[in-house]
Amino acid sequence: MLVPQDYWEGGHRIPGVIEYPPLIKSNMRSEHTLVTTDLLPTIMDLLNVKRPPSQAGWGLDGRSAVPAMRGEPAESFNEFGRGWLFWRQSSALGGAFRYGDWKFVNQSHSCTNASCDAALYNLKDDLGETKDLSASHPEIFSAIALNMSRWKWSVINSALKESECVDPFPPGPEPDHPVNPPAAPPLASKSDDEAPLNIAHAEYLTEFPLAKCLDGTPAYYYFRNATSSANASKWVIHIQGGGWCSTPDSCASRAGTNLGSSAHAKTHEADVQDLNLVHGCQNNRWCGALMVNDPVTNPLAHDWNAVMLRYCDGASWIGSVKEPVEHKGQQLFFRGKYNLEAVFASLVKKHSLGQATEVLIGGDSAGGLATFLHIDTMTDYIHAANTAAGVAGADVLGMPDSGFWPDDTHEGFSGDFLGMWKMQAGDAPGLPKHCKWAPSNASRCLFPQYFAGEITTRLFPLQSIYDPLQKGAHPQTHGEWLLAELNRTVLSTKRSPPNGAWIHSCERHCGAELLTIDGATVPEMLPRFLKAKTSADQTLWLQDAKYPCSTCCNDGSPDL
């Protein structure tokens, strides 16, 4: 019996006792694996209860256990025609499932691998789940991860559109051997009711010698090609967040994780990857709704080119130390600035970024800060590529999410940011292009409150007034300060077309693009903002409520 109290075998692998004298013989034992979702179809089967005609086409998460109760033999990887066995805790991210001897675990509350990311185990050889095989069996890991995403989206869709539930994996012939699982189903074979897999391909910057993660592995990004010829020149670029390291010790530790490396053993990612399963993305929660390729969620940019810049330098892309730094026998690479240069050079060379006509650039948390820091530099890269391609300069919009970090000694940001800069800045530090204090007063080039007014690229920051990581001990006072600073540095800047902002009172760090403000979400209202030409047009979407606001997080998302 499988009771999904945890993702690990030791947390749910328990014996189950079923008593039903009309069918079960005494002392009967079965090796079938059951999960709690099997109870409903089992009871319906025993009672001969049929669903109403209106529900006849609905899918069920479970399978009837009546065959096991009759004593029919268990098949090694065909559990009642199920093949794949998925489960997920309602309060947790990630999930787990089994496929024959293979077991996939992603972000359990009690995870044991260093970064709590996805891992792959072979239960036949390793029932204790101690040896992660994701790096040595990437084809199995990738196939399972993609199918898990398909299952997850079918469950989400069932919750949102109950009248149109479908079974993502109907009973049918199973593969001959679990060691060679089938490739993930092609997008064309999916039901119209399923949200599409958000598949992207990793691009490793091996041809750029200076582009390195903290541990010396190549910097990289994920790219998803536009699916519409009409929007082939339009781009959405997301800069991953994930905090910072401000001391050699913390950077050395970070180098051993997915935020300091591109090695598969540390990232637990595949070269062909569903962005739903990238740690630090999870679609709208961190990467933002504009990266989601579902036309319902993201009517504006679902079919645009999409790029996720993987964050592995630990300093919001400002590092410019060309030589590796030795620390306690370990080499550290502080190359954020060169990583950013290489990403855009690669996008121009391999994916024709020079043909871009419209580019939305954003990032969450540390990626939000990076957007403020580098948006003008990134715009220069794009416009230079436009010129080389003989096309007009693209319209670029900077959309930093939760990136307006305050220069606050009480919260520790002041010391952390300055320490980060002193450690990673080389001869040409990656500070904001137009920061008038650089480099004599670096602190004033690290906090947007000092330099955001100098940015020349059009801006549309997304920010909580009461961000739980930024609000400090006095949320209401912080919120009032934040509104005043955003008005002074971003909204009052004289430019055409004007800047704007999406400011809300939901106590959430990042991922608020599906909140409703003035009757719309960010993907729904953004076309209107992009057309705004003067201050007479709406450019500010403001949800201004007193702290705390119990109704402001109105999208039903978990507030992490």
Boundary of a domain, candidates 430, 459, 480: 480
The amino acid at residue 199 is: I
Picking from 194-198, 223-227, 310-314, 399-403, which range would have the lowest pLDDT averaged per residue?
194-198
Token duo for residue 300: 């504006």
Q: Helices marked H in 311-461 — which ranges?
A: 336-351, 366-389, 413-424, 448-451
Q: In the predicted model, is pLDDT for residue 159 greater than 60?
A: no
pLDDT band at 476, cuts 50/70/90?
very high
Decide: 498 and 487 in contact? Cβ < 8 Å: no
Question: pLDDT tens across 477-515, in order?
Answer: 999 999 999 999 999 988 999 999 999 999 999 999 999
Residue 275 and residue 144: Cα distance in Å, rounded? 14
Same domain, 183 and 207: no
Residue 315 and residue 214: Cα distance in Å, rounded? 10
The answer to whether residue 522 is domain-embedded is no
Q: Which helix (H) or strand (E) holds 221?
A: strand 220-224
The answer to whether residue 485 is domain-embedded is no
Residue 57 and residue 280: Cα distance in Å, rounded? 36
Same domain, 231 and 164: no
pLDDT for res 111: 54
Same domain, 58 and 170: yes
Same domain, 459 and 342: yes
CA atoms within a 13 Å half-sphere pointing along the CA-CB vector of 52: 3
pLDDT for res 480: 96
pLDDT for res 525: 96
Same domain, 243 and 168: no
Same domain, 156 and 238: no
The answer to whether residue 405 is domain-embedded is yes
Decide: 560 and 487 in contact? Cβ < 8 Å: no
Strand partners, 458: 397
- As for how many domains the chain has, the answer is 2
Q: In the predicted model, is pLDDT for residue 179 greater than 60?
A: no
How buried is 60 (Cβ within 10 angstroms: 0-12 exposed, 13-18 middle, 19+ buried)?
Answer: middle
Residue 192 and residue 490: Cα distance in Å, rounded? 41
Boundary of a domain, candidates 461, 480, 499: 480
Kindly list the distances between the CA atom of residue 260 and the CA atoms of 20, 217, 229, 287, 307, in Å, as whole numbers in the listed order: 55, 9, 36, 18, 19
Kindly report the length of the chain: 560
Of 102, 111, 147, 98, the C-alpha closest to 6 is 111
Of 231, 242, 255, the C-alpha closest to 304 is 231
Same domain, 151 and 207: no
The answer to whether residue 498 is domain-embedded is no
Question: pLDDT tens across 193-234, in order?
Answer: 444 568 889 999 999 999 999 999 999 999 999 989 999 999
The amino acid at residue 98 is: R
Of 347, 343, 339, the C-alpha closest to 305 is 347
Please give the share of the chain, as a percent, with pLDDT higher than 70. 81
The most distant pair of C-alpha atoms in the chain lies apart, rounded to whole Å, by: 85
> For the packed helices 336-351 and 366-389, what is the interaxial angle rounded to 10 degrees?
40
- CATH number at 16 reads 3.30.1120.10
The answer to whether residue 535 is domain-embedded is no
pLDDT for res 161: 46
The answer to whether residue 524 is domain-embedded is no
Same domain, 209 and 257: yes
| Beta strands per DSSP E along 59-178 | 84-87, 95-99, 102-106, 119-122
Of 120, 459, 44, the C-alpha closest to 277 is 120
Residue 458 and residue 452: Cα distance in Å, rounded? 11
Boundary of a domain, candidates 429, 448, 480: 480
pLDDT for res 547: 96
Of 453, 450, 248, 431, the C-alpha closest to 334 is 248
Question: pLDDT tens across 323-365, in order?
Answer: 999 999 999 999 999 999 999 999 999 999 999 999 999 999 9
Residue 360 and residue 180: Cα distance in Å, rounded? 40
Residue 51 and residue 206: Cα distance in Å, rounded? 57
Q: Which helix (H) or strand (E) holds 142?
A: helix 138-160
Kindly list the distances between the CA atom of residue 1 and the CA atoms of 23, 27, 37, 65, in Å, as whole numbers in the listed order: 18, 17, 11, 11
pLDDT band at 270, cuts 50/70/90?
confident
Question: pLDDT tens across 409-458, in order?
Answer: 777 889 899 999 999 987 667 889 888 877 778 889 999 999 999 999 99
Q: Helices marked H in 439-486 — which ranges?
A: 448-451, 475-486
Residue that wins the pLDDT comparison between 22 and 334: 334
The amino acid at residue 46 is: L
Token duo for residue 76: 């090694």
The answer to whether residue 460 is domain-embedded is yes
Of 249, 242, 203, the C-alpha closest to 117 is 242
Same domain, 180 and 207: no
pLDDT for res 177: 31
Residue 532 and residue 72: Cα distance in Å, rounded? 67
Q: In the predicted model, is pLDDT for residue 170 greater than 60?
A: no
Residue that wins the pLDDT comparison between 67 and 384: 384
Please give the share of the chain, as a percent, with pLDDT higher than 90. 52
Same domain, 175 and 206: no
| Beta strands per DSSP E along 88-219 | 95-99, 102-106, 119-122, 199-204
Decide: 512 and 288 in contact? Cβ < 8 Å: no
The answer to whether residue 322 is domain-embedded is yes
Q: In the predicted model, is pLDDT for residue 162 greater than 60?
A: no
pLDDT for res 149: 64
Token duo for residue 149: 């995403």
Token duo for residue 55: 């529900």
Decide: 444 and 451 in contact? Cβ < 8 Å: yes
Residue that wins the pLDDT comparison between 266 and 342: 342
Same domain, 430 and 466: yes
pLDDT band at 278, cuts 50/70/90?
confident
- CATH number at 401 reads 3.40.50
Domain span at 393: 199-480
Question: pLDDT tens across 281-297, in order?
Answer: 877 778 899 999 889 89
Same domain, 352 and 257: yes
**Phi, psi angle pair for 525, to nearest 5°:** -90, -20
